[in-house]
Amino acid sequence: MNYKREVTILLIEDDPGHARLIEKNLKRYVTNKIIRLSDGQQAVDFLFSEGAYAQSVRPSPLMVLLDLNMPVIDGYEVLRRMKKEDHTKKIPVIILTSTEDIREVSRCYDLGCNVYIVKPVDYDKFSEAMQKLGLLISIVVVPDGE
């Protein structure tokens, strides 16, 4: 298996304002390609080359930034589906959400998330969190796809 540092970031976020803030702040710290999807169904189709993405090849290596509260299919179900399939279970998933409930945090780790980050409401704290996330992304090593 080959290992690469330059991962493609799949941002799955239904709130356009949050998505822009995440992208804008991350791009200050990383040069990784960012692909944005706005609901869980798009994410599942993209990850499993189904629906609108049936003819496309998923980039590899890949890292997912996943919101939980989304339309069509929520982030919990996206995470569950990813972690049960051999060809997607090794993709790192970072939950990036406003949900602070410890039961939800535990649920996500039980489903297989790698990191759980609460999006700060305060803009400066949000920017600082994205800087730290960018630093993590810049040093993480991710397995290439199978």
18: nearest Cα among 41, 38, 47, 43:
38
- Tell me 68's DSSP state: S
- Do the Cβ atoms of 14 and 67 come closer than 8 Å? yes
- What pTM does this model have? 0.91
Give CA torsion, residues 82, 93, 139, 6, to 10 deg.
50
**pLDDT, one tens digit for every residue, the chain (146 residues):** 455 457 899 999 999 988 998 999 899 888 899 999 999 999 999 999 999 999 988 888 899 999 999 989 999 999 999 999 999 999 999 999 988 999 999 999 999 999 999 988 898 998 889 889 988 888 888 877 65
Which pairs from 119-128 meet CB under 8 Å and 24+ separation?
A: 119/18, 126/21, 126/25, 127/25
In the chain, the domains with their CATH numbers are 3-140 (3.40.50.2300)
The H or E element that residue 44 is part of is helix 40-47
pLDDT of residue 146: 52
- Tell me 50's DSSP state: -
pLDDT of residue 141: 80
- The C-alpha atoms of residue 111 and residue 90 are separated, in whole angstroms, by 13
